[in-house]
Amino acid sequence: MLAKKHPPVANLPSARWLALAEALRPALSRNDRWPVRLVEPVADPSAFQGWRLKEVAAAEALPARTIGRGEQVIVDFGEHLVGYLRLELAYVGIAMDAPLRLKLVFGEVPAEVCEPFDPFDGTLSRAWLQDELVTLDELSRPLTLPRRYAFRYLRIAVVATSVNYRVRIAALACERVTSAARPPQPLPPGLPPDLVAIDEAGLRTLANCMQTVFEDGPKRDRRLWSGDLRLQALTNYVSFADTALVKRCLYLLAGLARADGCVPACVYEFPTPSMGIDFILDYTALFPAIVLDYARASGDLDTARDLWPVARRQLEIALAHLDDEGLFVDPKTWWLFIDWADGLDKQAAVHGVLAYAAERTLALARLLERDADVAHLPALAPRMKSAARARLFDAGSGLFVSGAQRQVSWASQTWMVLAGIMTPAEGAAAFRALPALPDAVTPGGPYLWHHVIEAMLICGLKDESLARVRSYWGAMIARGATTFWEVFDPADERRSPYRSHHLNSYCHAWSCTPAYFIRRGAFAGIIGPGSTPADGRKPMAH
């Protein structure tokens, strides 16, 4: 094995990079949003996660309604929002002779305001779930909750009062915050309504994740992850075109690299920028691709040159895990992500990621006229391709396999296409064969589905890739989504990597990329009328 422990890197200008990142901190755009209707829960097996919210009144009826102990009201803001809740309350009755205790539950999807959160069995902190107890002694001043929330629905329940008064919600608003202040670039003309709706949800997902960094999810995690950043940045370049925010994120990641120069998978902003504890090998390898995409989109080669040493270092660290023939072998010391799919063997996919990253790094070196720094890379690509085809390619099926069990997966074929190890013709044949193979591991979430679409387009499968966008992201729209979700399995709507679907993020950065494909013209020439999602569900009002 060629894997080795990397020595510390001297003279990385981390303090300067962090200072540059701080100087690029954006101001947030703020504007108010109001409820659009009052709703009540209805158990409905045909609705997403078994719950539907039925309209009972327009939002204008809210100030005339009173609620007492043990009663509640659920409001629908009509779209997913990220921001700060403001309430104006009044009491109706003899006197406010005891404190008012409210329970507020914020929901991105109906199940969050229809089901109890407890007992809780999730693998992440219960504190991520958005419920609050608020106790008020008097109601003369508006109440603005200090925490930022991500939600569409709000359940307000009266936990305790005295028998002598009831509560009236005189006014209710959310101060929405985002750093996506400029209008998005216009859509290509002539799009059918379903793709317009998919694009709108994609851009709302992106905008709600654009805060003082590109967050992965504004409800849960609320931090910068490099894997999400790469896909957010691509969508941003063809919509809001905020290259300064990408630059800030790149400098944060680079400035918080550990001693050996490895960039962390995630970073925290508060109270001061700090390195996350996670290091993901495929995210590390793809950092040079983010720098390359930024340089091409912004024309800012000075920043790319500044970050070149750390970009090159990420590839060095990743390629240390090739064996003598040039094949990736899992060192068992890294988190390999690729996708959330259960049981996925990741050797072949990570090998493809490393080959792709080497090609992107070489392209960045050529753009910056630093070819001499990576003089070994042109010879590496054929070695990695030869090793993969010799040891991972099954000639009988025409598919790449992964690991000791020779597993077949969508992830393996996808990354072999993106790396150029699989030809477009081979990839097209593979993608047409995969749906008929019951043992092939299918994608577990939108992050991998993005790469599947990208690979299909390389293989000339434009119609098939458009059909996948409509049947996957379109199915979220049909289930009531106004932003796209971190995890979505049409066959298991409560599927969660965290043992609790309430912990799932329903506005998640890596899910925004249908807007990227639509806006870059990936489906030009084949776009037809909108379609019903493949599972036959009709759009249903919440």
Structure tokens at 251: 């400098």
Is the pLDDT confidence value at 356 over 90?
yes
Cis peptide, bond prior to residue 13, ω within 30 of zero:
no
CB atoms closer than 10 angstroms to residue 432:
12
pLDDT, residue 423, reads 98
| 392/524 Cα distance (integer angstroms) | 35
* Contact call for residues 279 and 332 (beta carbons, < 8 A): no
- pLDDT, one tens digit per residue, over 521-539 is 999 998 866 554 444 443 3
Give the residue-averaged pLDDT of 466-474.
Answer: 98
Amino acid at 65: R
pLDDT, residue 541, reads 36
Q: Is 320 helix (H, G, I), strand (E, B) or coil?
A: coil
pLDDT, residue 11, reads 79
For 75, half-sphere exposure in the C-beta direction (CA atoms, 13 angstrom radius) is: 24
365, 270, 272, 223: which is closest to 15 by C-alpha? 272
pLDDT, residue 441, reads 98
Give the residue-averaged pLDDT of 181-197.
Answer: 94
Give the residue-averaged pLDDT of 383-400.
Answer: 98
Phi, psi of 210 (to 5 degrees): -90, 95
Phi, psi of 50 (to 5 degrees): 85, 10
Is the pLDDT confidence value at 121 over 70?
yes
State the Cα torsion 314-338-482-106 to the nearest 10°.
-90
Beta bridge partners of 156: 73, 104
| 226/245 Cα distance (integer angstroms) | 13
pLDDT, residue 534, reads 46
Is the pLDDT confidence value at 331 over 50?
yes
Give the residue-averaged pLDDT of 457-470.
Answer: 98
Amino acid at 13: P
Instruction: Show the DSSP H helices in 151-300 as ranges.
Output: 193-209, 226-237, 243-255, 281-298
pLDDT, residue 188, reads 87
pLDDT, residue 226, reads 98
Is the pLDDT confidence value at 213 over 70?
yes
| 114/44 Cα distance (integer angstroms) | 12
Q: How far is CA 109 from CA 21, 79, 209, 382, 444, in A?
A: 34, 10, 17, 48, 20
For residue 131, what pLDDT band results from cuts at 50, 70 and 90? very high
Amino acid at 26: P
- pLDDT, one tens digit per residue, over 94-113 is 999 999 999 999 999 999 99
Phi, psi of 9 (to 5 degrees): -100, 125
- pLDDT, one tens digit per residue, over 415-448 is 999 999 999 999 999 999 999 999 999 999 999 9
Domains detected in the chain: 30-177 (2.60.120.260), 180-186+195-519 (1.50.10.10)
Give the residue-averaged pLDDT of 209-228.
Answer: 98
pLDDT, residue 536, reads 44
Query: What share of the chain in percent tops pLDDT 70?
Result: 95
pLDDT, residue 71, reads 98
Range with top average pLDDT, 55-59, 140-144, 532-536:
55-59
For residue 449, what pLDDT band results from cuts at 50, 70 and 90? very high
* Contact call for residues 484 and 511 (beta carbons, < 8 A): yes
Is the pLDDT confidence value at 32 over 90?
yes
Q: Is 399 helix (H, G, I), strand (E, B) or coil?
A: strand
Return mean pLDDT, the chain: 95
* CB proximity list for 381: less than 8 A, separation 6 or greater: 355, 358, 359, 420
* Contact call for residues 320 and 344 (beta carbons, < 8 A): no
| 533/477 Cα distance (integer angstroms) | 9
Name the DSSP class of 538.
P
For residue 10, what pLDDT band results from cuts at 50, 70 and 90? low
Give the residue-averaged pLDDT of 326-334.
Answer: 97
